[in-house]
Structure 1
């Protein structure tokens, strides 16, 4: 005998299902890919990052083509690309990414392909015209610019172009900031003194500076004693209103150069304690306070994710993961290949909740935190980019994947600068072999297709 289900129960069930569908649609609506296109074939024999920059109607992409040559392209949004190749060629070093930015007069500045190498810098002689890119052999000081690494462009509050890079080697390097004058077309040092000094014993690996919702620039870094990645220690913090004068989180002035004994250490992780450069990230809570994500070993030796935030005059760390039998034992020099875990900056969900995304192996998790206590409320599956991108990229690279049994990695890079006219974002995707500690692979894989994706 069939029992009749009351109408009220059916209606309730229907409404619940409808709400679930609506919420699912809302959570993925911003992830819809509305346009994809191939840009070029690119080097795929090891991992190396391209760069995508959008400023208003102008869009630029920089990458190493299938023949390892640095290539820069420009277009007005929705129009064809115009390409230009400069005389800079990639080796096997996965540190040698390329980066770029526009100055206030519309000239494009491009740097990259450097890991303890002499300067590789190009600038346009005509605004927005990539085919006017010219090599510049000296920025400020030829002597200092012989061992350059990790170049980053940023804009100060006045829109002036600044570049920072490391001078020297791993475990013994200095951080250099230069500022560009668009009238004279000349660079000068931003600081009279050295920015950070490891006193010959260590160097700093930086994340940022990041301009926060309070308008200030926030900088975090770890100290590293030797080229061995396991010797990272002492997660540190400083902030600035103008990138010239710096203070700690209590607004107490920091004299340059910053040394370890003058540093505000916000997480005293020791060497070989499970913290690595590149995996410290800075975000902000509902009150515009910086909140930093990192990982280290817990008391049982497992790798865990932590966040730290200022409380009173001190920083308080909170463990947010509870993994068992998981330890990422890393070390050595050179590019380490794909990290087993990768944390990201904390984001505000609403007035009571924060979210921290973490990639563990190939899985993406989102830790939902109570914004007051930083305790973990729940952990849910998530994604780092629109899932459709993976399928589109794999389809465009089917010939590469079918032609080899080599291990391959899929990469997605979110563009910098402005979003798309639809209110979404731009992404690049490509496929490559993993890094190999900056050494040559036995086999060079076929080129990958570099794809551009626009979302709404």
Structure 2
């Protein structure tokens, strides 16, 4: 299957074929050609690849020359204003993605090209501008070995910036806070989750409609992905300053393996993936999406770990049939994407979308619509008819939060195992829009 899909993808890229939508309510808008030799533009941990502020949507990606390209459009239109910036990244490493956010005053913030190297950060010279400042420091502390930077906007318009300080298997979680009034960053935590020099936490974060910051993570004992284990949880109800368990017990910081609340026990060598996604319902209950292989099964399945009725529960989405194994270091060539989950705040009971890509379904953009977690009611459908290669979903979190509209960053890309390069031309960067239920 891999060879066939790869051949189809290369042919589609060379021909400049569109990724055709499948079904009503799905719309795909072209942006520009982007780097496609690996998955650096289309990794799941981009926070964000797309972001909306007011009636304007922003996008970022690497072009064929690995330049950072920024763009914006009016919502509902097909015309993008694009700017190729003076900045470049090492696009040969698929970890080195671009993340962006717009603060409450309308200023764009951008961070790019990180995998255990010095901080690369700039922001717009004025509200609404795609012109960036020179490279900036944030706090001047722990900025020499940055990985996995991500922005999150708080309800007051201020920002959080999370990143790993240190390497795989021995890193700590750093959190900075940006104040729109002072236009300055301050350090909240230099070591929120400590690997104690022996392991590190691979996290996913979410800010809910109340402003609660949810954080979940797997532990990794070494650079080998097979050493991932367990799912832990913490939350902050004061903008990231103090942290507590799901039942309100305060954490002594830093959080360690011994003190972390365990949302799900998952042993090593379970094909447990890292850096996925999470969300929360209207009551602030967390929902964590991932995949792993349960005891007695050879097939990794998508799973949702969620809090309901005062306890942690797990919902396995057992629709996959093909086994695979995770091991080794670097960016892996995996037959399925890490999932994105978004919980709908309407209705009496939580419903959710889980967006993914699976070779079993022809590597299309696919979605699980979960209508009842406890009863296990869900359906699966494809949002495109064409393959998207090694694409993983990233989406406009702010547009979903405000309008309940799903906008996905879409690009057909390839990933050769262990940071290899595919010999393919640039492919079209697109935005897929979908209004669930319409």
Q: Tell me the TM-score range normalised by the shorter chain.
A: 0.7 to 0.9
Q: Which deviations, in whole Å up to 9, do the C-alpha atoms of 1:162-182 show, x marking residues without a partner? A: 211111101111111111233
**Residue of structure 1 in register with 2:5 after alignment:** none
Matched, 1:45 2:43: no
- Asked whether the 8 Å contact 2:337–2:390 carries over to 1, the reply is no
**Residue of structure 2 in register with 1:211 after alignment:** 207
- Asked whether the 8 Å contact 2:231–2:264 carries over to 1, the reply is yes
Q: What SS does the aligned partner of 1:417 have?
A: helix
Matched, 1:100 2:100: yes
Matched, 1:195 2:187: no
Matches within 5 A, 1:96-175: 96-131=96-131, 133-141=132-140, 144-175=142-173
Hey, which of these two has a bigger chunk of strand by percent?
A: 1
**Residue of structure 1 in register with 2:415 after alignment:** 434
Cα RMSD between the aligned structures?
Answer: 3.2
215-224 or 356-365, larger mean C-alpha shift: 356-365
Structure-2 change in CA distance of 1:55 and 1:165 (3 Å): same
Aligned residue among 234, 251, 257 for 2:230: 234
Q: Which deviations, in whole Å up to 9, do the C-alpha atoms of 1:382-401 show, x marking residues without a partner? A: 13xx43xx56x99xxxxxxx
Please, which runs of 5 or more residues in structure 2 have no aligned partner? 1-21, 43-48
**Residue of structure 2 in register with 1:8 after alignment:** none
- Asked whether the 8 Å contact 1:420–1:455 carries over to 2, the reply is no
Structure-2 change in CA distance of 1:339 and 1:255 (3 Å): farther
Matches within 5 A, 1:317-332: 317-321=314-318, 326-332=322-328
User: Taking structure 1 as the reference length, what is the TM-score of the superposition?
Assistant: 0.77
Work out the CA distance in 1 between the residues paired with 2:396 and 2:417. 26
Work out the CA distance in 2 between the residues paired with 1:214 and 1:346. 16
Shift of 1:216: 2.1
Shift of 1:154: 0.9
221-230 or 337-346, larger mean C-alpha shift: 337-346
Shift of 1:74: 3.4
Work out the CA distance in 1 between the residues paired with 2:100 and 2:267. 35
Work out the CA distance in 2 between the residues paired with 1:380 and 1:184. 48
Please, which runs of 5 or more residues in structure 1 have no aligned partner? 1-26, 395-407
**Residue of structure 1 in register with 2:175 after alignment:** 177
- Asked whether the 8 Å contact 2:107–2:128 carries over to 1, the reply is yes
- Asked whether the 8 Å contact 1:228–1:333 carries over to 2, the reply is yes
Work out the CA distance in 2 between the residues paired with 1:269 and 1:190. 30
- Asked whether the 8 Å contact 2:232–2:260 carries over to 1, the reply is yes
- Asked whether the 8 Å contact 1:286–1:351 carries over to 2, the reply is no
Structure-2 change in CA distance of 1:329 and 1:99 (3 Å): same
Aligned residue among 246, 269, 274 for 1:249: 246
Work out the CA distance in 2 between the residues paired with 1:343 and 1:410. 11
Q: What SS does the aligned partner of 1:230 have?
A: helix
Work out the CA distance in 2 between the residues paired with 1:213 and 1:422. 12
Work out the CA distance in 1 between the residues paired with 2:252 and 2:38. 41
- Asked whether the 8 Å contact 1:420–1:454 carries over to 2, the reply is no
**Residue of structure 2 in register with 1:259 after alignment:** 256
Structure-2 change in CA distance of 1:157 and 1:283 (3 Å): closer
Shift of 1:148: 0.5
**Residue of structure 2 in register with 1:366 after alignment:** 368
- Asked whether the 8 Å contact 1:238–1:248 carries over to 2, the reply is yes
Work out the CA distance in 1 between the residues paired with 2:391 and 2:222. 31
Work out the CA distance in 2 between the residues paired with 1:127 and 1:68. 26
Matched, 1:271 2:268: yes
Q: Which deviations, in whole Å up to 9, do the C-alpha atoms of 1:361-416 show, x marking residues without a partner? A: 34247375644xx2434x54313xx43xx56x99xxxxxxxxxxxxx556665334
**Residue of structure 2 in register with 1:9 after alignment:** none
- Asked whether the 8 Å contact 1:178–1:187 carries over to 2, the reply is yes
Shift of 1:419: 6.3
Based on CA coordinates, which of the two structures has the bigger radius of gyration? 1
Highest RCO, 1 vs 2 (Cα 8 Å, sep ≥ 6): 2
252-261 or 286-295, larger mean C-alpha shift: 286-295
Structure-2 change in CA distance of 1:123 and 1:195 (3 Å): same
Structure-2 change in CA distance of 1:83 and 1:168 (3 Å): same
**Residue of structure 1 in register with 2:7 after alignment:** none
Q: Which deviations, in whole Å up to 9, do the C-alpha atoms of 1:227-258 show, x marking residues without a partner? A: 10011112001111121111101100012111
Structure-2 change in CA distance of 1:455 and 1:167 (3 Å): same
Total equivalences in the alignment: 398
Shift of 1:75: 4.2
Structure-2 change in CA distance of 1:323 and 1:428 (3 Å): closer
Q: What SS does the aligned partner of 2:333 have?
A: coil
